[in-house]
Amino acid sequence: MAPTSFHVQDLLSLPTWALACLPVALIATYFLANGIYNVYFHPLANIPGPKSASFAQYYFTKIWLSGKYPYYIKSLHDKYGPVVRVGPSQVSFNTPSSWKEIYGHIGGRKQFLKSDFYEGDGRPKNIVSSRSIAEHGAMRKMLSNAFSAKALADQEETIQSYVDTLVKQVAKHATGKPHGEEMVKWYNWITFDIIGDLAFGDPFGCLKAGVEHTWVSSIMDATAAGSYYNAYIKYLGNSPIEKWIKKLFVPSHLFAKRQNHFGFAKDKVMRRVEKGANARKDFMSNILNEKETQGISNDTLTVQSALLIVAGSETTATFLSGVTYYLCRSPKAYKNLIDEIRSTFSSYDEINARATEHCKYLKAVIEEGLRIYPPVPIGMPRFSPGETVDGVYLPQGTECFTSSWAATHSEDNFHKPYEFIPERWIDKDCTDKKDASQPFLLGYPVLALVEMRLILAKLLWSYDMQLKDQTLDWVKDSECNLLWRKPDMHVDFTRRAGVYIPPVDDVKEE
């Protein structure tokens, strides 16, 4: 019997409804076939993980936008182990060694480059979004002098003045109130004011006025908008129409806040540029000197500044909020810390950046605060160049990362990972894998550490503090859109009796 032949006329003879459904059927068939390939025949098919995640990118995107992404990735590691396939081409790790192998520079190994996760919305690149090694190196050089230990030492007086203002405002707004004072906003205000002053020489005045600047309220929504961009880049790639399509998917109010964020940054940059590099000794004076010799555009300065405002304020404020919560819920750690601070410093004026470096328990509290509530809880994606991580070969183009939250809350890395135990960083007999905690990707920003030490030391030298809402569950009530969206936290402060607190006791008429 002769085989049946197919003719175009046969297709055209189909009913109209069938012709209308044909494209849909073809697309559905393609996605089904592609999903089956991803699950069973893809080079990553042997890596454990939920089949629904391997089937299509939709699963990863849905979880990414849920606000609970770090927690979900951690649950996958609990179920599947230290290496988990979390998307068709995405692999997550939670081990100490993976930090070094993915983000470090190890002789004899190919380098893992930033993935298209960093593409963003088409603006000029900043030091985080730049995927070019040469470009990133030039940006790092430009910023390194501005944020060096020496540059910060020159600015300590400015930083101290803001910490003193916070101590004064706590006396005014957060003592003797029945419901305490919401402290997340105050931590945001002080870090925002500090980076604004140091970067632009143009204070925002949030802390002194006790009023939020519009820019502060834009930051989290601007970051959330960026989260949407990161999600949809997986579908849209770098096509000519991607920036227009992404606008349709990003909620309009978030998109507007993102535009405002960059608008504020541009305004600050232009004001500072007009003053000139030598108008004031601040971080921008170093950057502007580089601008003149390297030919850096104002648009590039704008995106760098927009990043500096977020990185220099939100991450430190997140730490301060989290560590305040955990200290209030951990009586032993709280007592040990205040005992160290108050026995080390006999007067308020003795507290400075250099002196606090010698407070061992304070340093342990900071390490533990960054572990239990890492400011950036997600994994920062890299493309594999065709290398192994933890002995698992990842074909070229595989997107991989170490999930910060999963690494710092794994029982394989830390005993009692959900408990606040600063002693784990001091006890020489502790067997925790402490290098599994890398809150700043294999390094520590000097400015953040100075702020953390000074703010905690001066607040806890001056006051006792108590969490007012004992039902607050910090982990459950936090959400993540790249950075943490934190719950309100009301704290009651009580002034220490019999001590002289200059910012409070030397109040002058304003």
Q: What is the pTM of this model?
A: 0.89
Rg (CA), the chain: 26
Residue 460, both tokens:
């806890």
Asked, for residue 38, whether it belongs to a domain, the answer is no
Give ∠ CA 167-173-177 in degrees, rounded to 5.
Answer: 125
Asked, for residue 274, whether it belongs to a domain, the answer is yes
Asked, for residue 491, whether it belongs to a domain, the answer is yes
Distance CA 168, CA 172 (A): 7
Q: DSSP per residue over 293-324, as a string?
A: HHT--HHHHHHHHHHHHHHHHHHHHHHHHHHH
Asked, for residue 428, whether it belongs to a domain, the answer is yes
- The pLDDT tens digits of the residues spanning 368-384 come to 999 999 999 999 999 99
Tell me the residue range of the domain where 129 lies: 51-505
As a whole-number percent, the residues of the chain with pLDDT over 90 amount to 55
Q: How many domains are contained in the chain?
A: 1
Asked, for residue 42, whether it belongs to a domain, the answer is no
Asked, for residue 199, whether it belongs to a domain, the answer is yes
Position 478 pLDDT exceeds 90: yes
Question: What mean pLDDT comes out for the span 143-169?
Answer: 87
Position 451 pLDDT exceeds 70: yes
CATH number at residue 297: 1.10.630.10
Asked, for residue 7, whether it belongs to a domain, the answer is no
- The pLDDT tens digits of the residues spanning 90-143 come to 999 999 999 999 999 888 899 999 988 877 666 667 777 777 777 777 777 777
In what side-by-side order are the strands of the sheet with 181-182?
181-182, 490-495, 463-467
Q: Report in angstroms the alpha-carbon separations of 215 from 199, 212, 236.
A: 15, 8, 30
Given a contact cutoff of 8 angstroms between Cβ atoms, the answer to whether 390 and 93 are in contact is: yes
- HEC string of 63-111 equals HHCCCCHHHHHHHHHHHHCCEEEEECCEEEECCHHHHHHHHCCCCCCCC
Asked, for residue 308, whether it belongs to a domain, the answer is yes
Helices 446-462/156-173 angle, 10° precision? 40
Position 500 pLDDT exceeds 90: yes
- The pLDDT tens digits of the residues spanning 225-278 come to 777 777 766 655 555 555 665 666 677 777 777 778 888 788 888 888 777 767
- The pLDDT tens digits of the residues spanning 342-354 come to 999 999 999 999 9
Place of tokens 């501005």: 146
Give the pLDDT confidence score for residue 509 in this predicted structure.
Answer: 46
